Homo-oligomer: A and B are copies of this chain.
Amino acid sequence: MGVHRRQNGYTVNFCVDSHNSLGNYVVDADGNRMLDTFCQISSLPLGYNHPDLLAVARDPNNASVLAARPALAMYPNMDYPEKLENLIQAIAPRGLKHMTTMMCGTCSNENAIKQAFIRYRSRERGGNPTEEDLSSSMLNEGPGSPSYSVLSFDGAFHGRTFACLSLSHSKAIHKVDIPAMNWPFAPFPRFKYPLKEFEKENRADEDRCLAKVREIIAEKKSTGSPVAAVIIEPIQAEGGDYHASPYFFRNLQQICKETESAFIVDEVQTCCGATGYFWAHEAWDLPEPPDFVTFSKKLISGGYFFKEEYGPKLGARIFNTWMGDPPKVLMMEAVLDVIRREGLLDLTRTSGAHLMAGLEDIQAKYPQHVRNARGPGTFCAIDVVDSGVLAKVASNVRDKGVLLGTCGTNSLRFRPALIFQPHHADILLDTLESTLQEL
C-alpha cells in the first residue's frame, strides 16, 4: 500500500475507517469491526467519534482556530490565557501551578529537561548566564554547554528524538545506529508476582535500584557530569508494563531532593485517568509535587507542568514556533468535561477491577500460557509465558475481533479508552481465554 511504499510503513497494522468507527469499536478498511483495547497506542480518551468531540470539530466558531495556527509564545489568541488558566485549575497535579503546552510527548520531555538544566546551571552559577557562558555555548563548548546528564531507567521509554532516545532503554531497534548522549541509566524494579507472596523480595529489589540511583548520581557528580534531572515513568509501558511501588517513587523523589536533581515524572502514557487516578503519581502520596509532570496522548495536547522555581527567568529560552496547537486544547477541554460529567474515573476503576479479576482467573486456569496479570485501573497487562507466541496470541485475538497491544518482549497490554465498560472487559476476557484454549 501507499504508506508502505512511500514512507517507512512496515509497522502498519491495518487501515481504519474513521467514519464508521464508534466508541470502543474500530472498523477497518474491509469493514471488520473490532473491540479496540489499544486505542491508537493508548491515545484515545473517549474512543472513536464521541459526540462531544465531533461537536467541537463541527462548531463553526472554532474554524478560525483551525484555519490559522498561531505562534503561541508570540501571538496567542486572546482567549488563550484564560484557557490555560482554566486547564490549570481543572487538571494541575496538586501543588503545581505552571504549565506549558507542546506538540507531543517527546517535545514535552525535551523541554522539561531543558528547563531542568537551565535551573541547575543557574543555581550553580548564582544567576543569569555570563558573557563566557553565552559565547562558549555558541561553540557547543563548556561552560556554556555544560556536560550535565539526565538519569533514566533500564526499560524506560521517553520518546525518539536524539535526547529522548538516549533516555530510552526499551528496545534496541529504536536505538541502534543513532549516536547517543552519554547519559546513565539505573535498574528499574522487576517485580515478582503475585505481589503478596513476594513482598520482601520486591522491596529488596526496589532498595537495590534506589541504591544504584544514589551510586550513579554520586559517580556522575565526581566525574564532572552531574545528574541535573531524573526522569521516570509511573509504569514502564513500552518497555513491558513494569511497576514499582509508592515506596520506590517517594524514595526516588527524596534522593532527587537531596542531590538537587529535578524529579521529572513522564506521564505521557499514564495521564488522564487510565490508572484510575487522573495522574498516576497521585497514588504515591508524595510529600510534595514532582518538579515536572509531562503529558500527551489521551490529553490530546502535549505539555508539562512544573514548579515555579523551574521557570526560566529570561524570555526565548523555552520557545518554538508553535508551542502546542490550540485545536488540541479545545478537544482537551471537551474530554475533561465528559470525564467529569460521566464519572469516567469511577468507571475506569470499576472496569479495571473487573478486568483484573478476569485476568487473574485466566492465569489461574492457564498458568502454562500466561502469568503476572497486573495493573491499576484499566492500565493492565499480562505476560505470555512463551515470548515466541506473543505475536501469534495478539494476532489470533485480533482475528476474533479484539484489538490489543503488546509491549516489552512478552506482554499483552490493554489501553482502552476511558469509556471502556465491564461488559467490554468480558468480551476481551472471553476472547483471550478462547485463544489460549486453542494454543
Contacts and interface: CB of A to CB of B under 8 A. Distances in A.
Interface in A48-73: 48-50, 53-54, 56-58, 60-73
Interface in A93-137: 97-101, 103-107, 110, 113-114, 117-118, 121-122, 129, 133-135, 137
B316 A173 contact: yes
A26 B76 CA distance: 12
A314 B314 CA distance: 44
Contacts of A7: 84, 98-101, 311, 318
Given A15-B77, A316-B10, A145 B180 contact: yes
A439 interface: no
Q: Which of A300, A319, A321, A331 has most chain B Cβ within 10 Å? A: A321
A173 B98 contact: no
A228 B386 CA distance: 40
Interface stretch (A36-44, A215-223, A365-373): A36-44
Contact of A321 (B8, B60, B104, B311): B104
A315 B11 contact: yes
Contacts of A99: 6-7
A371 to B, nearest CB: 25
A434 interface: no
Contacts of A297: 321
Given A40-B71, A99-B7, A104-B321, A110 B161 contact: yes
Contacts of A174: 316-317, 319
B314 A173 contact: yes
Interface in A360-392: none
Contacts of A175: 137-138, 140, 144-145
Contacts of A98: 6-7
Nearest to A3: B81
Given A68-B48, A82-B2, A159-B320, A315 B10 contact: yes
A195 interface: no
Contact of A40 (B1, B66, B69, B100): B69
A78 to B, nearest CB: 4
A322 B129 CA distance: 37
A80 interface: yes
Contact of A177 (B144, B178, B311, B315): B144
Contact of A43 (B8, B106, B160, B321): B321
Interface string A153-182: 000000111110010010111111111111
A308 to B, nearest CB: 10
A286 interface: no
A144 B319 CA distance: 32
A2 B107 contact: no
A138 to B, nearest CB: 5
Given A8-B100, A113-B162, 11 more contacts: A2-B81, A6-B99, A7-B318, A13-B75, A16-B77, A103-B104, A106-B320, A133-B172, A137-B177, A140-B185, A162-B181
21 contacts: A1-B81, A6-B88, A6-B100, A8-B311, A8-B318, A11-B74, A15-B77, A16-B70, A17-B77, A40-B70, A43-B322, A57-B62, A57-B64, A107-B161, A114-B162, A117-B177, A122-B177, A133-B172, A140-B182, A148-B179, A173-B316
